[in-house]
């Protein structure tokens, strides 16, 4: 495995808008390499505490080695999926918190690990699970779904315009041998997708299919919806929820969740009076979201598609 560092995205903006104060309780639901967690803990000096979760046991082990000697019991770490936040946080003493942060997707460590199958050049098995102890590896999906189901998956989670063509090529290739590695899958897509297709010049032709498989394997969109609901329930009035997303499917879920909780009432527009009785639970801190500036993009191209949305819990 190549050793790489993970550069945290929009780090100053995250810390400024999450506004962690000394003594506060914070949750980082995607602790990754611990870059954001470290800065959040520093901002809560000397006695604030942070609960860090990650579905990936290797990430938790790495952060424990790097940060636990410095922060001691102010940092609590658990290998867990943030979709279970509402159950896990109270059991760790984080039942009511001042801030919650989610930095979606994968880290540079995962991308560079050739045994995990996240990167196009990974020669190892096409796995793509954040938590390798649960669920079905991507190679198994490719070996078992029919062409129609594969195409639907590539369209739904990758918005891939050549979904049908790629799906048929995978099923055809299976008659000789199934696609087992990321490298094989990327090579197959390179062969079937026209290299001069519009919009294809700047990104690798397999980008959308890889995104789709990763989302499906990790049930990422369902986890995000559950995680947002759980996080909001844990926030104290005045507490903040900050979410960094990297593609439009994720961002849409965050945006709609924030909008719905800002509005409160879910009665149909034609109802003369409110009968649902729901009050707004969030105030938007970043109505349009925040994106990285040129300076950050110059040093960290991975930040290219990032958007940060932050909202504050109201008393309701
Ligand atoms: C972009 S990285 C986080 C990087 C981190 N903010 C840092 O500064 O190092 C995303 C991390 O979230 C984890 N992850 C993704 N989905 C998750 C989920 N549903 N529950 C828990 N962890 C998840 C991944 O394993 C990965 O380590």
Q: How far apart are CA 40 and CA 35, in angstroms?
A: 9
Question: Is the C-beta atom of 160 inside 6 A of ligand 1?
Answer: no
Cβ distance 21 to 30 under 8 Å? no
Out of 165, 184, 218, a domain closes at 218
Rounded to whole angstroms, what are the CA distances from 207 to 159, 190, 220, 250?
Answer: 11, 11, 17, 16
User: CA angle, 308 as apex, 230 and 129 as ends, to 5°?
Assistant: 60
Residues 120 and 104 in one domain: no
Which of ligand 1's atoms lies nearest the C-alpha of 130?
Answer: 25
Q: Is residue 301 part of a domain?
A: yes
Question: Which tens digit of pLDDT belongs to each residue from 182-210?
Answer: 999 999 999 998 776 665 557 789 999 99
* Predicted structure pTM score: 0.94
Q: Is residue 6 part of a domain?
A: no
DSSP assignment of 241-259 equals EEEEE-SHHHHHHHHHHHH
Residues 100 and 50 in one domain: yes
- Estimate to the nearest angstrom the gap between the alpha carbon of 148 and the chain centroid: 27
- Estimate to the nearest angstrom the gap between the alpha carbon of 244 and the chain centroid: 8
The confidence score (pLDDT) of residue 201 equals: 58
Cβ distance 226 to 2 under 8 Å? no
Question: Is the C-beta atom of 30 inside 6 A of ligand 1?
Answer: yes
CA atoms within 13 A on the CB side of 231: 35
Question: Is the C-beta atom of 100 inside 6 A of ligand 1?
Answer: no
Residues 84 and 118 in one domain: no
Residues 242 and 256 in one domain: yes
Q: How far apart are CA 196 and CA 218, in angstroms?
A: 31
257, two tokens: 């969740």
Which of ligand 1's atoms lies nearest the C-alpha of 227?
Answer: 19
- How many domains, in total, are found in the chain? 2
Q: Is residue 192 part of a domain?
A: yes
End-to-end CA distance of the chain: 49
Question: Is the C-beta atom of 82 inside 6 A of ligand 1?
Answer: yes
User: Backbone phi, then psi, for 304, in 5-degree steps?
Assistant: -45, -50
Question: Which tens digit of pLDDT belongs to each residue from 20-71?
Answer: 999 999 999 999 999 999 999 999 999 999 999 999 999 999 999 999 999 9
Residues 104 and 236 in one domain: yes
**Strand-by-strand arrangement of the 235-245 sheet:** 75-79, 49-54, 25-28, 97-103, 235-245, 307-313, 282-284
Out of 159, 187, 218, a domain closes at 218
User: Residue 236's CB: how many other CB atoms inside 10 A?
Assistant: 15
The confidence score (pLDDT) of residue 139 equals: 95
Cβ distance 114 to 127 under 8 Å? no
Q: How far apart are CA 79 and CA 132, in angstroms?
A: 11
Containing domain of residue 132, as a range?
A: 111-218
- Spell out the residues 6+ positions from residue 110 whose beta carbon is closer than 8 angstroms to its own: 56, 59, 116, 118, 130
Cβ distance 192 to 167 under 8 Å? no
- Estimate to the nearest angstrom the gap between the alpha carbon of 299 and the chain centroid: 21
The confidence score (pLDDT) of residue 10 equals: 98
Residues 202 and 234 in one domain: no
Q: Is residue 5 part of a domain?
A: no
Out of 218, 252, 283, a domain closes at 218
Cβ distance 35 to 300 under 8 Å? no
Ligand 1 pocket test target in 6, 32, 112 with most atoms within 8 Å of CB: 32
239, two tokens: 């507490």
Q: How far apart are CA 306 and CA 290, in angstroms?
A: 8
The confidence score (pLDDT) of residue 301 equals: 87
Task: Check which CATH number belongs to the domain holding 173 and give it.
Answer: 1.10.150.170
Tell me 201's DSSP state. S
**E strand or H helix that includes residue 54:** strand 49-54
Question: Is the C-beta atom of 38 inside 6 A of ligand 1?
Answer: no
User: Which residue is closest in CA terms to ligand 1's atom 9?
Assistant: 33
Q: How do strand 282-284 and strand 97-103 relate by DSSP bridges?
A: unpaired
286, two tokens: 């970043």
Q: Is residue 290 part of a domain?
A: yes
Q: Is residue 2 part of a domain?
A: no
Parts of the chain with a pLDDT under 70:
1-4, 196-201, 316
Tell me 6's DSSP state. P
């Amino acid at each position: 495995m190549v050793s790489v560092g993970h550069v945290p995205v929009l780090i100053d903006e995250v810390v400024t808008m999450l506004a962690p104060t000394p003594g506060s309780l914070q949750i980082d639901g995607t602790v990754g390499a611990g870059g954001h967690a470290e800065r959040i803990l520093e901002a809560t000096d000397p006695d604030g505490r942070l609960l860090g979760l990650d579905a990936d046991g290797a990430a938790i082990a790495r952060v424990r080695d790097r940060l636990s000697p410095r922060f001691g019991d102010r940092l609590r770490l658990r290998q867990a999926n943030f979709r279970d936040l509402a159950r896990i946080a109270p059991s760790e003493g984080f039942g009511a918190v001042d801030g919650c942060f989610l930095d979606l997707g994968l880290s540079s460590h995962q991308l560079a690990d050739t045994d995990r199958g996240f990167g196009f050049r990974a020669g190892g098995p096409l796995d793509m699970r954040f938590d390798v102890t649960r669920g079905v590896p991507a190679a198994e999906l490719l070996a078992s779904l029919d062409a129609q189901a594969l195409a639907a998956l590539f369209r739904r989670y990758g918005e891939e315009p050549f979904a049908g063509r790629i799906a048929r090529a995978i099923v055809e290739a299976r008659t000789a041998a199934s696609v087992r590695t990321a490298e094989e899958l990327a090579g197959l897509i390179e062969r079937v997708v026209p290299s001069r297709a519009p919009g294809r010049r700047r990104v690798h032709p397999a980008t959308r299919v890889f995104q789709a498989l990763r989302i499906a394997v990790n049930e990422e969109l369902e986890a995000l919806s559950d995680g947002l609901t759980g996080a909001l329930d844990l926030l104290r009035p005045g507490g903040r929820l900050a979410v960094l997303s990297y593609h439009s499917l994720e961002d849409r879920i965050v945006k709609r969740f924030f909008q719905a909780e800002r509005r409160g009432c879910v009665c149909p527009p034609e109802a003369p009076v409110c009968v649902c009785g729901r009050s707004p639970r969030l105030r938007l801190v970043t109505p349009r979201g925040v994106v990285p500036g040129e300076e950050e993009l110059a040093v960290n191209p991975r930040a290219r598609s990032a958007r940060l949305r932050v909202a504050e819990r109201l008393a309701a």
